[in-house]
Structure 1
Amino acid sequence: MNGIQAEINNVLSAAGITPSTGSSTQLRDAIQALTRIKLQANTTLYVATTGSDTTGTGTSGNPFATLTTAWNYAVGSLDLNGYNLTFQLANGTYAAQTVTGNLHGYTGQTITVIGNTSTPASVIIAGTSAVAVSAVRATPFIIRSMKITSTGTAGTFSTGGIGILSMQGSNVSFGNIEFGACGYAHLYASSNASIGTYATTASSVTYTVSGDAAYHMVGSDGGVCSNAGAAVTLSGTRAFTAFALASFGEVFSYSNTYTGSATGSRYLATLGGIISTNGGGASALPGNAAGTTSNGGQYV
């Protein structure tokens, strides 16, 4: 046994892991770390509707078919080694995608999921009775330059209706997105996770809302949903039950400019939820009806 333990300790040491009697996964983690591909430069993994999740390798000539598989490959096989990682989606329409797990070697690098920077609507992620993009316990990443839609009306994670969902500690930034119709919410942050706008240049945060939803922004169950300093285009007159909903969560929305108009309540803060416009006043958010608070909700 002592010889076997010594061999195990050697593997842990080679992987830079200090042995601990309280962990049952250290040997697995060490083997994975020692067999990962260490990035030697900023790297792009390619995804295309014509790709394959079975035989794809993530190169431009042999792309994966889904973001889900590309992310899983990165989680299981790569060591970021200090470099940025980009997931490049080719033009086309993709079904619902899920991003789960932490990227090995992440220390604050830029992780980006990107579509078509010139014509975002050329890349569509469409959830059919499913959340279009789900981030679950994921390394922080930026998603930009695509169109997102989701059918389903219940607002539960299993039945869809949500454009971008960030949950269980995930941190998602977005920019240059076109939000099409979503049965429940365009943006939904839950369970100690966050979603917020991302500037593609030093002074530019832009996105478009071209489809309706019950809510544009939702902060629920400890989640934080925010847009700040953004130029938001409401294409046509968009309809919401309420533009922002905070229910035992938080919504931050301030210093934005809105082009276009919306119908529905400006906000609903309930069950201790907080909606902050940084003192923007009662009409800071789009809508044609006054917002409401209930059950300890606050609007400030």
Structure 2
Amino acid sequence: MKKLTWANLKATLLAYFQGLFREKLTAARTYYVRTDGSDSNTGLVDSAGGAFLTVQKGIDTLCSLDLSLYDCTVQIGPGTRTAALTLKKYVTGGGVAILLGDTTTPSNVVMSVTSNNCFAGVECGLWRITGMKLQTTTSGYAVFPSGKTSNVELRNIDFGACASGHVVVGAGGFARYSANCTISGGAPTHLQIANGSSFVAGGITITLTGTPAFTTFASLDSLALAAIQSVTFSGSATGARYSVTLNSVLNTFGAGATFLPGNSAGSTATGGQYA
């Protein structure tokens, strides 16, 4: 049991009263983030005097609301951001939290992080991330959801070079691609799904440019599941196509052993299955 201290009591009371007085949306809402904004602004106007400066301020403000049935969007303007971003749990009755960049030209909105992840969340609920380029140096993943309530939907993402990998899902989390994406940079893995986590993609095109290099394109272990159906891969990559171990399943619905990008054969071991 946590020791009762004034600090603990104050934190508990603050969380309680914040819940009581949390604003409940009655319509969809958009917050704006611009490189000339300020985190002291309301975030509700797309101007230097109205927009937030940082993406994390937009995320935190969204998470302070009760979304009810309505989507809430953080519209991220052009530019390069270097801060690691934390996806947090929010209150919803069906509304979705959306981080929106530029769906026409994702490379206009760049998350370029050193020694950390672009986006990470633990038990963070459903987040839709769309229209941006993600890259890391030294260490770090592009996207890292973990925990059974974490559910990250990716659309129109340009995956640049990432030091640790592009998408890693752990501890029962879930990620999916629901629209076309691009891979313009290499990484140790494009997909790393582990520990009872899952990944889904279907009916989309993934375009590879410049022949990105991977150690393994898709790596699954420890009861992980990936379902990749009717996906078109345009372009080529180097590295092993897949590694499936420890009772994990990678289901391509009969697409064949050379379906995934790479220039060397995939492998299965210790109960892993590739179908």
Q: TM-score range by the shorter chain?
A: 0.7 to 0.9
2:73 to 57, 65, 86: 86
Task: After TM superposition, list the pairs within 5 Å mapping 1:179-258 onto structure 2.
Answer: 179-198=159-178, 205-248=179-222, 249-258=224-233
Give the count of matched residue pairs. Answer: 261
Q: Can you list the C-alpha shifts for 1:12-67, whole angstroms capped at 9, x where unaligned?
A: xxxxxxxxxxxx998655522332222231100111222233x1322223222222
Taking only the aligned residue pairs, the percentage that are identical comes to 36
Q: Identify the residue that residue 102 of structure 1 maps to in structure 2.
A: 89
Cα distance in structure 2, aligned partners of 1:151 and 1:26: 38
- TM superposition score normalised by structure 2: 0.88
- TM superposition score normalised by structure 1: 0.81
1:246 Cα offset (Å): 0.2
Cα distance in structure 2, aligned partners of 1:100 and 1:238: 28
What are structure 2's unaligned runs of at least 5 residues?
1-9
> Larger C-alpha radius of gyration, 1 or 2?
1
AA aligned opposite 2:204: A
Task: After TM superposition, list the pairs within 5 Å mapping 1:11-50 onto structure 2.
Answer: 30-50=16-36
Cα distance in structure 2, aligned partners of 1:86 and 1:75: 11
Q: Identify the residue that residue 16 of structure 1 maps to in structure 2.
A: none
Q: Can you list the C-alpha shifts for 1:232-263, whole angstroms capped at 9, x where unaligned?
A: 11012121111100011222222111111111
Say which SS state the counterpart of residue 182 (structure 1) adopts. Answer: coil
1:224 Cα offset (Å): 1.2
2:129 to 143, 159, 168: 143
Cα distance in structure 1, aligned partners of 2:206 and 2:191: 13
- Note if contact 2:87-2:119 (Cα within 8 Å) is conserved in structure 1: no
1:75 Cα offset (Å): 1.9
1:269 paired to 2:244: yes
Deviates more, 1:169-178 or 1:246-255: 246-255
Cα distance in structure 1, aligned partners of 2:152 and 2:180: 16
Q: Identify the residue that residue 41 of structure 2 maps to in structure 1.
A: 56
1:126 paired to 2:112: yes
- Note if contact 2:184-2:210 (Cα within 8 Å) is conserved in structure 1: yes
Q: C-alpha root-mean-square deviation of aligned residues, in Å?
A: 2.0
